[in-house]
Amino acid sequence: MSDFPDFKLSATGRKVALSLVPVICPPEYVQFADAIVTNFELTISVSPLLLRKGVSAGFATYDLGALPRYRKRAHKLTGEDAERYFSSWEHGITPLHVQFARALNQLLSLGCYDVPEVMEAIGYRPAPWIEEVTRKRLTVYAADVRKQEVQILAPDPLRPGFRIEDVRRDRKVGA
């Protein structure tokens, strides 16, 4: 059973997130935009409620905020326009704009470098490494591992003379 709360970006929110992938992620990984945004959603799904609400509201504001200047909503911006618009938030009309842009940068970067193909491309391959060292531990150090497992359960009372039965019996007598 998994522990994933149900959380999905709205259709517009997802479009905005997808339009930001080319702005925030390295160009060679834009092909993984769907997976990056899915990772983003999964991260948001377990974030504090305030952050979840902030992201939803922020996306709506970000999307509509492009209209006066570009006569298009943000999710329809591409290339230099998309870049310029995001940059205007990054350098901030208000501290809230700056914080939101930073948060998007962080969360989409996180989502990008969690894509297996991206990790592979930069030479990060932890699964075989874990397998290799686990095997080593259970062979080379098997005796010590077993010894510790036994130690964990071995009797070793904190107060050796203490007998709880005596306390319970005394309580019954007292009662």
Partner 1 sequence: MAVARPALIEGVRPAGVFTRHDIHGDTVLDCDVVVVGSGAGGAPVAAELAEAGFDVLVVEEGSYYQTRDFTADTSAMVRQLYRDGGATMALGNPPILFQEGRAVGGSTVINGGMSWRTPDDILERWCKDGLDVSSKSLEPYFERVEKRMNVAPMDDDAIGRDNWLLKKGADAKGWEIIGNLRNQTHCVGSNRCAFGCPTGAKQSSLVSYIPRALHYGARVYANVKVESITLHGKRATGVVGHVSLPNGGRGPSVTVRAKLVVAACGAIHTPALLVRSGLSSRSGQLGGNLSLHPNVKCVAIFDENVTGWKGAHQAFQVREFADEGIGTFAAINLPPSVIAMSLPHRGAQLGALMDQYNHMVLAGMLVEDSTTGRVRTIKGRPQAFYQLTKRDTQVMQRGLSLLSELLFAAGAKRILLPFHNAQELANADEARRLLDQPIPPSSWEVVTVHMMGTARMGVDRTQAVTDQFGMMHDVDRLLVADASLFPTPIRVNPMETIMALATRAAGHVIDNARRYLS
Nearer to partner 1 among residue 94 and residue 151 (C-beta): 151
Q: Which helix (H) or strand (E) holds 25?
A: none
Nearer to partner 1 among residue 27 and residue 68 (C-beta): 27
Nearer to partner 1 among residue 60 and residue 119 (C-beta): 119
In three-state form (DSSP H/G/I as H, E/B as E, the rest C), the secondary structure along 144-156 is HHHHHHHHHHCCC
CB of 41 to partner 1, least distance (A): 8
Closest C-alpha to 43, from 114, 95, 101: 114
CB of 10 to partner 1, least distance (A): 18
Helices (H), 113-141: 116-121, 126-140
Closest C-alpha to 56, from 69, 66, 71, 45: 45
CB of 142 to partner 1, least distance (A): 10
